[in-house]
Structure 1
Amino acid sequence: MRTKLGFFAIMICVLNSCTQLKIAVDDLRCEYLTNPLGIDVDHPHFSWKIAAEERSIYQQAYRIVVSDKQSEIQAKSGDCWDSGWIKSDYTVNLKYEGAPLAGNHTYYWRVCAVINGQEVWSKPSVFHTGLFDETDWKAQWVGVKEEIIHQSLLFRKPFSIEKKIKEAYIYVTAAGFYELYLNGQKVDDDVLNPAITDYRKTVLYSAYDVTGLLKKGENAFGVMLGNAAYNMYIFPDRYGWGDSNPLGTPRFLLQMNVVFDDGSETTVTSGEGWKYTMGPITYN
């Protein structure tokens, strides 16, 4: 009889253990994105999902921790923000309420949810902040003085890196469309960037992690510019809207912030020293 009871007790423990493994906190998102780059809001919103194979699974409370040190998050603590236990079943749009976030900085976060009385920790996630203020931009707009109607423009600038790199992020935009290259390689697979806006009020920028594209020694940027709606003329059989008065020739703004292994930093920007020529696209 004791043997049978012992066997059943072991089976119950095994079944409970298996059940616990079927519950997970996953699909962590910051500002609706997975591991986003260039978040430029100082109080981002967090979301997650509860994954389980069983029914009647619900969240009773949660705790969010945020840190700029991965070791802190691995230890389930947050020196930038620890929300403490909050009794709620909310899993969407939970606002960051911690210490002020720095621009151009990497942060780690994770969440612990109490699900049917059981504490379940998510895996760590990450987000990188963009440039919060205009004063964070050290770059200058680069364009040409001559009239551009159909052609595309190609810009190039060489620069040197003499130390071992820890991380490097680029922030770039254009009045018009751009394609950005680093050491001959396109930095993304996007097309027609940035999205068209009212350039007189807003220009959108993108952020890229280019740590793996840099090398010690000589490097070079390449930028191709297109007209988009910034430099739009009315021609037969060509799309346009309104009176299509051009706002000017295309131009771009670029800034790369580099952090070295020794803790020092450098910035490479658009401005003086960029050379240009007409590109291979003759009508755009």
Structure 2
Amino acid sequence: MQKVSIESDIDIVKSSGDRVKFSLEKLRASLNRSGAEKDVVNRILDTVRDELYQGISTTEIYNRAYALLKKEKNCYASKYKLKKAIYELGPTGFPFEHFIAALLKYSGYETQVGEVLVGHCVSHEIDVVAHKDGETLIAECKFHSEEGRNCNVKVPLYIASRFKDVKKHWDSKSYKTPLTAGWVVTNTRFTKDALKYGKCIGLYLLSWDYPKNDGLKDRIDRLGLYPITVSTLLTNREKQFLLSRDVILCRDLIDDAFFLDHLGISEVRKTKILNEIKQLCDD
């Protein structure tokens, strides 16, 4: 395992197994999104840079940066682990659907989850139905609990056919609002063909980083709607318990703090957890 300087061409291994060149600026950007001060970010970059070696995995880089952020401040680490926290909403896609509904709700939409809509040919269970400004959209959520699995063109192909069937029936009836848009939402990424087809057919595609500057990560930071799974103090078992009680957002836990009592969490630890959550929501 030979260390190399940052000036060298350093290959890193992604979760998909692909090898790419290390980018200091990408790491800086992800650290900046944590809210950490500039001097903290620079110190962490120096430390990680000194520990780089050919073939290092993105997971190892992430874990090291996360640990260093956590030493500085829990809320920095919480924001930094946002992408991983979305994966932790699994293994089913149900909490992710509620999370997307919450993002739409706090963007001014009225939302329903798991609605059955009649189509021209058959009925369809729709993940999220949302109404705003006299229009209605339906969103289908494609959740992956493992990194490296992207949505290929088959996903928008399938969802476009469902949208077309629902819209044909919708347009033939006297609904209060017109059905104007079909969305496909994923916590990973779309392939080039998926993006090309979605744009061609008129679907709105939303992924972790697409559209540019308006992807999931951007919307979450902008609205401050962090999932409960970003907490650095709750255990995986405790997170799954809260998710099973529909406590999806950090701000949900502030209103339903009694669930921490159900988990048998001590008053001292409860205070620490709520302080972490409140700090995230306040930021």
Structure number with bigger Rg = 1
- Settle same-fold status: TM greater than 0.5: no
Structure with the bigger percentage of strand: 1
Structure with the bigger percentage of helix: 2
Larger relative contact order (C-alpha < 8 A, sep ≥ 6)? 1
**TM-score of the pair, normalised by structure 2:** 0.24
